Copies of this chain bind each other. A is one copy, B any other.
Amino acid sequence: MTRYGPMFGPDITFLGVPRCDLSSLADADVVILGAPFDGGTSHRPGTRFGPQAIRQACYLPHDGSRPSLALRVDALQDLRVLDAGDVEMFSGDAARSVAALEDAVHRVAAAGAIPIVLGGDHTIAWPDATGVARELGFGRVSMVHFDAHADTGDTEFGSLIGHGQPMRRLIESGAVRGDRFLQIGLRGYWPGPQTLSWMAEQRMRSYEMTEIVARGLDECLTEAFAIAVDECDGVFLSVDVDVVDPGMAPGTGTPEPGGLTSRQLLDAVRRCCYELPIVGVDVVEVSPPYDHAEITAYLANRVVLEALSALARRRRGDEWNPRQPLLDAR
């Protein structure tokens, strides 16, 4: 199997990291996959251009190096991060697309690398986490899920596949245990009572924004992390950019006012990847046609870098102190 090409536009890699081919991943730590798919979106499309936008939203040279001021690692250098290009995902055929993606993710996991999938709409969380679970074992991977929406719908537009349903599919298939499903940032007016009841039955743990405001995000995360690592071997991190307030991240398809700030999301992603045994990540729902001045693409790019930097710092193993002055740090 040769390298995936770009589905749209020129063939670039995430900030200039080396290209790779899924057939030779022996020494990869992290493999980036593009999932240029918006066929599962229930409203505004455009996320097919998410991978392209996330890969290049940066004012710095695209040189495969990004030393983190906060964490004092250069994840793109300290880890072996490769970019396999875009899985071919025809938005008009969701079923074929998710199968192709699941297979690609599984190959990455099977090679012992962490897949980071750039969406695409949230439909892809189903093949993303399934692909990892096929390697680590169904029920052995917990999920930390940042989102304004629960994405636990049954069907939409008559389809089982779509960006409102991936979490249900994952639980139904057994890939992820319902009681190891942690949702952060929910709000708004969906889903309705019937679906909430189903979620409660699965013993999911969903932190709506009201609880987060009342208790503080950090306390909620600490609680969630304890559940996530209980009787699971790894954690999949799924970040829907709409967890951030639409005022700060307008380039998305189903904006729900009242979300986290960008700062909160970056800090939370850092904690996830520094404190938890992450085995896969996806960053989804960036829709460039609705973005302004690339601010949402930049945010998603930084979410990926924050995740990578925290993974690298975790591997380094020494203690990290957030209160330490920048120029005292090493």
Contacts and interface: CB of A to CB of B under 8 A. Distances in A.
Contact of A162 (B45, B92, B248, B299): B92
Contacts of A291: 293
A158 B97 CA distance: 11
Contact of A266 (B96, B249, B258): B258
Interface residues of A, number: 109
Given A9-B56, A245-B263, A246-B295, A325 B257 contact: no
A76 B191 CA distance: 15
Question: Which of A62, A68, A70, A193 has the most CB atoms of chain B within a 10 A radius of its CB?
Answer: A70
Contacts of A226: none
Nearest to A194: B67
A248 to B, nearest CB: 3
Nearest to A9: B56
This protein's copies in its complex:
6
Interface stretch (A129-137, A167-175, A210-218, A229-237): A210-218
B246 A245 contact: no
Interface in A1-18: 6-13, 16
Interface string A244-275: 11111111011111110111001100000000
A13 B12 CA distance: 11
A322 interface: yes
Contacts of A38: 45, 91
Nearest to A57: B255
B211 A326 contact: yes
Contacts of A188: 68-69, 302
Contact of A305 (B6, B189, B324): B189
Interface of A: 6-13, 16, 38-46, 48-49, 55-56, 59-60, 62, 65-70, 72, 74, 88, 90-97, 123, 156-159, 161-162, 186-193, 196, 199-200, 204-211, 213-215, 244-251, 253-259, 261-263, 266-267, 289-295, 298-299, 302, 305, 322-328
